[in-house]
Each structure stands twice: as structure tokens, then as C-alpha cells.
Amino acid sequence: MRRWAKRIAGALAAFVVILAAPVLWIEVACTAAREPGTVTRAPLVEDRGYARRESDSYLSFPEWHIVYAYEDLAGVLRHGDPSGFAYGRQIGAFWTNLCGLTRVVAARGPVGPDTKIMLYAIGWSFTAELAVKGAYEETVGRAFERLRGPGRTAEDDFAARDMHAYAEFLRQTPWYEYPFGWRLLAFWRSTPLRGDGLARKIERRVVFTLEYGTKAVYGALIGYASATTLGASDLEIQTVIVGLEPGDVAREPKIRIVRELGGGRTLIRTPRYQAYTDLLVRLARRGRDVAEIAGNHRILVTVLALGPSPAAPGVTELFEAPIQSRPDRRRLGLDVSVEHLAAAIRALEASGASIEHIYDY
């Protein structure tokens, strides 16, 4: 009993160290002195709930890194197997990006403790999920791939298609709202047990059922907590647009005009997340400009670039990252002046880069 108690205590101690290590690293090593001469501008709009924290734009990227990791996995699965995915690199990139962006925002002002707690929680969850998946797929999963041979099973194909659908879903909707239960039911109904690679088929059925069954239950609990205890997320944001015309509103049904501010400036309310990125890109292409977003004058933007880093007005490159499933492209993280955002979008697209995401607050 004493020996088992020591083993359990040792395992718990190791678990605590593993959990604490990245947090201690962020808190100790990923800091920066406040930039001298930093001036906080008064927002153009004084309405309650209009202004948001600038730091939330930059620190939302680690959340989106998880979305991009699933997109990358979907791209790998389109023509390959799960064992070929770089699980460890994705885990490392999450914490490295969080470190670098924490330094950026710390130099401008304090970071909200609620944001930190949320990022640490999702970071641990992401790390645990990919660590378990990677450890399994690169050992047991790889062995079953070899037993199967080069041809894929119906189970492999279903999982690849559903990973793509899941990644698309995450661009606008929280993960826990994905219909894991219904997709698990569809998996069993649409994949016949007959066919070649029986061992692989059975193994994939076990893996898929365990993963989706667990996520269905866990997601339901998180969804209930979000709706009752944490409260629903604010799904809209307000932006001051310069030069907005009636035709823009007619072409963009998601725009709601709050009021005119004078000087050609219009305060609008729109959806957040990917819909917001798509809307601002379309407005920029039509020559509209942005004066302010939720009281802020700097924002994080990522683009997918083919060649050298493109130049654009009001833009500073913060980081770059490779994309495993698209080796011809690089993801660039750009610190952009909001007043130059529309001009930067036009210049970046003209250089051949594609605007991936504008990280709202």
C-alpha cells in the first residue's frame, strides 16, 4: 500500500508539474516592459459596451491556432493518414504564439486575468488532446495503417471528410456546438463493415466512437455551463466605417447602421469572427476605410503568403508559421493600424497574399 501511495503521489506531482510548466514559462519569460510614451486614445464613441480591450485581438490568435490545427489535420487527412500529422509541432506552436503575443500586449498595457485563465485552460485541453492522439496514432494507429495497406477504408474516408467539416464549423461557431452525437450516428450508418482491411476498420470504429462520444458528452456540459454560468458570448461588434454608401448596406445584409457620426463616418454593428473578416475585406475592396473598431486603433491580422513577406502601409510583421498541408504557403501574423487596415487589405491582396483572419476584440 505504501509503495502504491508513493507511485500515485509521484504521478500526481508529475501531472501538476506538466500543467504548471507552460503557465510558469508564460508568466516569467513572456513579459515585456511598458512601451515608453504609450498614449491611450479616447474612443470615437462613448456608448456603453462599445469599447473593448485591444489585447483581446492579439490573444485571440492562440484560440484560432486550434482552428488552424484542425484545418491542417483535415488537409493532411485528405490524402494521408493521421500518423503523418505533426501533433507535437502544433502543441509547441500554441504555447510559443501565446508567449510572443503576450509580450506584444504586455508592452502596451495589462492583460485581463480572465483572458489568461481562459487561454491556459484551452491550452491544456488542446495539449492533452493532441498529445493523446499523437501518441496513439504514431504507434498503434500506424501499426494498423500498415496492416491495412495503401488503400484507405470507408472509416478513414469518413473521418477525413468530417474533420474538414469540423474545421469549417469552428470558423464561426464554438466547438461544443458541433453535432458530435449525430455525426457518430451517421458514421455507423454510412460505413459498411464489409470490405478490405477489417482490422483497420474495427480499430477506426473504436477510435472514432471513443473520440466523438467523449466530445459529445463533454461538449454538452460545456455548452450548458456557457449558457447558464458563463453567459452567452457577445456575437456582434461595432465599427466606425469611412465612406459607407447606401449601396454597401443593400449588398451587405449583415450590416446594421447604429448612427452617423459626421465627417463621412458611420457607426455600424455586424457579426464577429469569420463573418466579420469577410465583410471588412469586401468593404475594403470597394474602397471603404475603417476609422476605429470597438474603440481600438491596432489589430492583429493573419494572411497566407506565397513568397516573400508583402509590404503594406501601417503593418508590422509579428510572426510567421509553416502550414503542413499547404507547404507552398506561410501564415504571417501582422500588427496593423486600424486606420490603415482597409489600405493594407488592398495592398496585401494586390501582392498575392490572401487575408485569412482579422482578429476582433
Shared domain check, 73 and 221 = yes
Write the pLDDT tens digit of every residue in 200-246. 999 999 999 999 999 999 999 988 877 765 555 688 999 999 999 99
Which of 64-68, 131-135, 279-283, 311-315 shows the lowest mean pLDDT across its residues?
A: 311-315
33 pLDDT band, cuts 50/70/90, is: confident
Tell me whether residue 222 is in a domain.
yes
Q: What is the CA radius of gyration of the chain?
A: 23
In this structure, are residues 110 and 33 in contact, taking their beta carbons and an 8 Å threshold? no
How far is the C-alpha of 278 from the C-alpha of 302, rounded, in Å? 13
Total structural domains within the chain: 2
Kindly tell me if the per-residue pLDDT of 35 is higher than 90.
Answer: no
What is the mean pLDDT of the segment spanning 305-318? 88
Last residue within a domain, chosen from 202, 230, 258:
230
How far is the C-alpha of 196 from the C-alpha of 177, rounded, in Å? 34
Kindly tell me if the per-residue pLDDT of 197 is higher than 90.
Answer: yes
Classify the C-alpha dihedral 211-213-219-222 as positive or negative: negative
In this structure, are residues 307 and 313 in contact, taking their beta carbons and an 8 Å threshold? no
4 pLDDT band, cuts 50/70/90, is: confident
In this structure, are residues 338 and 290 in contact, taking their beta carbons and an 8 Å threshold? yes
In this structure, are residues 284 and 252 in contact, taking their beta carbons and an 8 Å threshold? no
What is the mean pLDDT of the segment spanning 162-187? 95
Task: With H, G, I as helix, E, B as strand and everything else as coil, classify residue 209.
Answer: helix
Shared domain check, 344 and 220 = no
Shared domain check, 219 and 110 = yes
Shared domain check, 262 and 178 = no
In this structure, are residues 144 and 202 in contact, taking their beta carbons and an 8 Å threshold? no
Upper half-sphere CA count for residue 246 (Cβ side, 13 Å)? 0
Tell me whether residue 163 is in a domain.
yes
Shared domain check, 330 and 308 = yes
In this structure, are residues 338 and 297 in contact, taking their beta carbons and an 8 Å threshold? yes
Strands (DSSP E) contained in the chain are 236-242, 256-262, 265-271, 289-293, 298-305, 315-322, 330-337, 354-359
Which of 33-37, 279-283, 298-302, 325-329 shows the lowest mean pLDDT across its residues?
A: 33-37
99 burial via Cβ count (<10 Å: 0-12, 13-18, 19+) = middle
Beta-bridge partners for 260: 266
Kindly tell me if the per-residue pLDDT of 2 is higher than 90.
Answer: no
The amino acid that residue 180 corresponds to is F
Tell me whether residue 2 is in a domain.
no
Dihedrals phi, psi of 5, to nearest 5 degrees? -60, -40
Place of cell 484545418: 71
Last residue within a domain, chosen from 199, 230, 261:
230
Shared domain check, 245 and 116 = no
Q: Which domain holds residue 308?
A: 236-359
Kindly tell me if the per-residue pLDDT of 302 is higher than 90.
Answer: yes
Vertex 280 angle, CA 63 and 45, to 5°: 90
Shared domain check, 211 and 258 = no
What is the grid cell recorded at 356? 485569412
Tell me whether residue 185 is in a domain.
yes
How far is the C-alpha of 4 from the C-alpha of 278, rounded, in Å? 57
Shared domain check, 327 and 293 = yes
Tell me whether residue 31 is in a domain.
no
Write the pLDDT tens digit of every residue in 241-278. 999 999 999 999 999 999 999 999 999 999 999 999 99
Last residue within a domain, chosen from 230, 248, 280:
230
